């Protein structure tokens, strides 16, 4: 499975629930040599995966469930536990398996997504947080157009799909695929999710390292969107602001155009890893939540 995932960087397998036979065709409960990349992506994001590091041969357990806001830890030990969790999440196992079989033609696309997710998680594990952010942003770029189209295409009729897509394209002021994706999240993702509160806690950082991170994050959040804050220590904001924050940090830190007044300089942010260390999980959590919202809708139709 190493080549199937990300080549020479990591080898990997999905933890537990392994079935060496091939009689199970694309079942989320079993991993076989023929398991699709979308199946693997779901298992990774649900916190049911393990990976072996080529660097040191150590095994890394991925038990964090990114499909739920707050990223709870899961420890699946039986297929029944995993099936029960899927049902509670509104994704019946039987219907999910049917979707995975129908969607095999998108193998190449989901293989790319798996690679970006694994590399993001791995870089976070090795504390290379700026590199992890790059993979999270690459993931956003890969899903920003495709996911809304998939969502609309699963509408019950052509007229409904056309109406939905027209709203995404014409209803926003932002240009390009990221603007398209932002409009999609505003109009199609449950308001209880977009209104949920992301909590940035800087207390693990030293007192000297907190102010630059706090000031940078606050700089790119509308003042009216800040739910609560403790200067230089913590700030809370709704998940509806996560996409804008992700994109603005990428544009203002990595582009650093000479004529932009909101650039993030290395003087203002001397240790960029501190910034991304505290935001990457929030970013990946939100993208995973959006994916599972789409998946739940697609599977239920």
Query: Reduced to 3 states, what is the DSSP secondary structure of residue 201?
Result: strand
pLDDT bucket at 150, cuts 50 / 70 / 90: low
User: Can you spell out the DSSP letters for 17-42?
Assistant: -B--SS-S-S-TT-B-TT--HHHHHH
Mean pLDDT, all residues of the chain: 81
> In the predicted model, is pLDDT for residue 145 greater than 80?
no
Phi then psi for residue 148, to 5 deg, are: -60, -35
pLDDT bucket at 112, cuts 50 / 70 / 90: very high
Residue extents of the structural domains in the chain:
2-126, 156-301
pTM of the model: 0.85
Question: What count of Cα atoms within 13 Å lies in the side-chain half-sphere of residue 37?
Answer: 20
> In the predicted model, is pLDDT for residue 3 greater than 50?
no
Q: What is the pLDDT of residues 173-222, one digit of tens each?
A: 455 667 778 877 887 788 999 999 999 999 999 999 999 999 999 999 99
> In the predicted model, is pLDDT for residue 148 greater than 90?
no
> In the predicted model, is pLDDT for residue 82 greater than 60?
yes
Label residues 267-300 b or e (16+ Cβ within 10 Å = b).
Answer: eebeebbbbbbbbbbbbbbbbbbbbbbbbbebbe
Question: Which of 13-27, 211-225, 227-241 has the least mean pLDDT?
Answer: 13-27
Q: Cβ atoms within 10 A of the Cβ of 62, count?
A: 24
> In the predicted model, is pLDDT for residue 19 greater than 50?
no
- In 114-268, at which residue ranges do the beta strands (DSSP E only) sit? 197-201, 228-230, 234-238
């Amino acid at each position: 499975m190493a080549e199937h995932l990300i080549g020479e960087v990591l080898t990997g397998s999905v933890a537990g629930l392994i079935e060496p036979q091939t009689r199970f065709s694309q079942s989320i409960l079993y991993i076989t040599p023929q398991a699709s990349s979308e199946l693997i992506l779901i298992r990774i994001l649900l916190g049911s995966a393990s990976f072996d590091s080529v660097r040191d041969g150590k095994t890394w357990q991925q038990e964090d469930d990114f499909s739920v806001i707050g990223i709870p830890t899961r420890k699946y030990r039986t297929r029944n536990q995993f099936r029960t969790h899927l049902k509670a999440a509104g994704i019946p196992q039987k219907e999910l398996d049917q979707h995975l079989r129908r969607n095999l033609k998108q193998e190449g696309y989901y293989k790319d997504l798996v690679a970006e997710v694994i590399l993001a998680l791995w870089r976070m594990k090795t504390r290379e947080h700026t590199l992890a952010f790059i993979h999270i942003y690459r993931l956003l770029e890969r899903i920003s157009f495709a996911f809304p189209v998939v969502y609309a295409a699963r509408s019950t009729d052509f007229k409904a799909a056309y109406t939905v897509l027209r709203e995404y394209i014409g209803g926003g002021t932002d240009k390009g695929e990221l603007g398209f994706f932002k409009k999609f999240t505003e109009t199609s993702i449950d308001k209880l999710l977009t209104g949920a509160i992301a909590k940035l806690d800087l207390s693990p950082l030293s007192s000297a390292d907190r102010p630059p991170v706090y000031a940078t994050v606050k700089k790119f959040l509308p003042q009216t969107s800040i739910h609560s804050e403790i200067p230089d220590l913590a700030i809370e904001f709704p998940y509806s602001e996560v996409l804008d924050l992700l994109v603005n940090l990428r544009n203002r830190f990595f582009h650093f155009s000479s004529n932009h007044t909101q650039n993030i300089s290395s003087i203002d942010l001397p240790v960029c890893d501190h910034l991304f260390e505290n935001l990457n999980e929030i970013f990946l959590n939100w993208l995973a939540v959006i994916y599972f919202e789409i998946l739940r809708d697609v599977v239920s139709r």
